[in-house]
Structure 1
């Protein structure tokens, strides 16, 4: 049972990594298409008792100036004189590589250790980056002069390792950059090794990882790694996750939503939308229960073809603003029908309301246009909102737990909420089906009932829906 539980958790994590890597790839494509500079890097790390000593080599640099972003914890920043020109573009203040033709430059620095006796260490953002530029590939060497053993993880593919008399050596390589570096004393076996995914942990069945690896390969994702170790701390980074227990699913979801929010410039208060967008791109509901509920309603409301098209449209918006109103508009673009589902979900902080489509045509009541009237399309029927329309025709609409009351001078209706009848001017009329529905706390009447009960004409064109009181029509005829 423990293995089954661990497998379920692991699959959830892998699914989240799959979605994140899909977004990351999209971001890299956008960077290249927009002319963002790129470069390759080789990082040599010497692990000593007091610090990580780093030699950092850059290649493929463009001729323009590159601002250097040093890690906050770095010390002893300097040129690394690999050859006569390896620091030729490094300015005197060590803040940038200045304009120049040499596409290769090298620097060195160290990251002091705070607790060298720990059984696990996470070095967060310990490596230099270049502002506004994208890393396309990384070669990564770790020479452990302490010979502490254990395992190193950075998300890149581990190509090889060797234990020697004086040092332990490990080599990684792969596409993309490296954000964090992790070490733990407990060395775990590699239980799955694919082209895009490595999983470390207790031995067990690995067939389920093959499909995940194939999916990562299909979208061209960078390599990622997962460590399952119940004795270690939980860690989440761009390219690897260390799982301590089942709570890692929640933690990794939070990590994913942060990445999605940054990618799409989603307002911080719209967490539900962040998780729904990730679900759309990953073809699977993730995140909090409310977000899962919203996504489940979306996939019921749309056809498979519409959902696939929505996924394409949402993916094409990577790097742009995204909010609830925009997502509603994208659904309209795909289906041809308006919805306010996600806008309402954010405003009311709930996903319990119905996912409804609205007629997009202009609604006019007695010749006046009203943008706030939404005629709902449900089960092949057009449903008209009672209060927002009838109030413009002189009616008052009120309700209690038992009945709905719609009244104006000379015309009074009472509609019981449960019994199959209605009362008009003190006269009772039996019905087989209720003439109204309550949707998300709003009362709607089916079109034929709406016409007949309230003496209306409803004329439709491709652009408009005209609702006219028959008494108004009669007055016009008399005149």
Structure 2
């Protein structure tokens, strides 16, 4: 920590960064005794020092909080197979001594306890049953997971305890099996070791990040390594020879993935593990693998943005989106972006290490095109109808010298359009949507305009005028008008400046 001030005898003050030396003896304040001057100076210095220490403490505290959020640990899981359950010991290492941690316990875990290195129950600062203090740098949890039927396959996805605000760097899973040796254990992580002894089998899986999914079935499966990141398990040899997923495995950060072909537990998937039927279409499997990639990559994505994964998967796997919203969004993107721009957009997604949101997708398009859109943000809810893709102009709209924060100009192709009703109201016109919803009536002073929404005519002061095109453009139920039509019909002045668009009449 920096020394801010040095207080020496005789009330001499020196700043290590270059403040002038102040000697109390040299202070001459008319009408104030020297001792009082010294006292006032001492109080002032104490206040300054206290303020500086307070600032430093706040900065230090903020730094500590940031360190906590990036805390990383490793974990070891020991799974012992018994007749009716799995008995699990989970050891997390790399924690801070005597710091309080909150644990998250899935409902599927039973007889859960936390113990320290001496075998005693973990301590807590308060009465919260889900907060614990490690004596050293480790917390150990013990629990069981019931198994419904002795000889039935089972799939475990959310099967471990997690700690809030802690990131797991790596996970080792040791399986000790004496009762289910006739079957096969598979995890969503590489198998690093297998020992089959007379009475017991040992498996060791080692993976990156949090605990992968775990699967067991009561029959033998053959393993074949499709690539460094992809392993296949099946009852028949050679099933992987007809599969090619090079375009997926070359994705940035493609995770390790185990794919099981079986008639048991079909349709299950979790971190690093897919269980599917041996009778499959290659494009369906490709979709599952792409889904797994994006689910792993963006596992903390907000729930309302999850439908975006369908769009990512469809583009990457060269397939049609599965959801109605995904198909509509994909169609709009293909209309607005070239093939090269689409490739750049999704490469940006695939190379992104942080979480993807709808708002971030809009920023990616701005970085690509240099023009703003809210396409993804406006379509954030999967249940609502699609809102078309358009770009908007960020310049302020000023009408008759009043800034209109609620008015936003948008682009259709290369034409800038203004919201019709809001703009003409700002110009002082009265606007009425007629009861049949087929025309809009606009009145100011002794002039009236009637715009038909579905016909290329309008009526000005009760005289009909035929047009080659409709002046109004309907975009998702909202009507817009171009600069040219505003000027021609309403004789307005439009000054499109660098930071503001000024419209006046």
Whether these two folds match at TM > 0.5 is: yes
- Within the candidate set 144, 149, 152, 2:185 is matched to 152
2:291 touches 2:313 (CA, 8 Å); kept in 1?
no
Once the two structures are TM-superposed, the CA of residue 389 in structure 1 deviates from its matched residue by 1.0
Look up the match of 2:71: 37
Are 2:176 and 2:201, in contact at CA under 8 Å, matched by a contact in 1?
Answer: yes
**1:141-176 deviation per Cα after TM superposition (whole angstroms, max 9, x unaligned):** 223201442222221112343544323333322222
Q: Does residue 350 of the first structure (1) align with residue 384 of the second (2)? A: yes
Can you list the C-alpha shifts for 1:297-329, whole angstroms capped at 9, x where unaligned? 245435655984697599869469x566x7656
Partner of 2:328 in structure 1? 293
Relative to structure 1, the CA distance from residue 141 to residue 445 in structure 2 (aligned partners, 3 Å threshold; closer, same or farther) is same
Aligned: 1:274 with 2:296: no
Q: How many residues end up aligned between the 2 structures?
A: 420
1:384 aligned residue (418, 434, 444): 418
Question: Does residue 433 of the first structure (1) align with residue 469 of the second (2)?
Answer: yes
The equivalent of 1:47 in structure 2 is: 81
In structure 1, C-alpha distance between the alignment counterparts of 2:447 and 2:154, rounded to whole Å: 77
- Alpha carbons of 1:309 and 1:342: their partners in 2 closer, same or farther (altered >3 Å)? closer
Distance verdict in 2 for CA 1:353–1:107, change over 3 Å: closer
Alignment of 1:3-402 (within 5 A): 36-60=70-94, 62-63=96-97, 65=99, 67=101, 69=103, 73-75=109-111, 87=117, 93=123, 96=132, 98-100=134-136, 109-111=142-144, 113-123=146-156, 125-201=158-234, 203=239, 205-215=241-251, 218-219=252-253, 221-243=254-276, 263-264=300-301, 266=302, 271=304, 273-276=305-308, 279=311, 284=316, 288-298=323-333, 300-302=335-337, 304-305=340-341, 308=344, 312=348, 318=354, 328=362, 331=365, 335-345=369-379, 349-392=383-426, 393-398=428-433, 400=436
After superposition, the Cα gap between the structure-2 partners of 1:148 and 1:335, relative to the gap in structure 1 and judged at 3 Å, is same
Identify which range, 38-47 or 409-418, moves more after superposition: 409-418
Structure exhibiting the larger radius of gyration computed from Cα positions: 2
- Asked if structure 2 preserves the Cα contact closer than 8 Å seen for 1:227 and 1:242, the reply is yes
Using the TM superposition, give the Cα deviation of residue 125 of structure 1 relative to its aligned residue in structure 2, in angstroms. 4.1
Residue 442 of structure 1 corresponds to 478
Q: How many Å apart are 1:363 and its aligned residue? A: 1.0
Q: 1:412 to 1:349 in 2, by over 3 A?
A: farther
Extract unaligned runs of 5+ from structure 2: 1-64, 125-130
Residue 111 of structure 1, CA deviation? 1.6
Let me know the Cα RMSD of the aligned residues. Answer: 4.4
CA distance in structure 1 between the aligned counterparts of 2:193 and 2:141, rounded to whole angstroms: 24
Q: Distance in 2 between matches of 1:295 and 1:376?
A: 21
SS in 2 for 1:208: coil
Q: Distance in 1 between matches of 2:334 and 2:77?
A: 45
Contact 1:147 1:167 in 2 (8 A): no
Q: Which has the higher contact order (CA 8 A, sep 6+)?
A: 1
What are structure 1's unaligned runs of at least 5 residues? Answer: 1-30, 80-85, 470-479
Within the candidate set 395, 402, 406, 2:442 is matched to 406
Distance 1:242 1:116 in 2: 19
Matched residues in 2 for 1:346 and 1:108: separation?
Answer: 39
Measure the CA separation in 2 of the matches of 1:263 and 1:146: 37
Shift of 1:457: 1.0
CA distance in 2, matches of 1:366, 1:461: 15
Is the deviation greater in 52-61 or in 181-190?
Answer: 52-61
For normalisation by structure 1, the TM-score amounts to 0.71
Is the CA contact 1:261–1:274 (under 8 Å) kept in the aligned structure 2? no
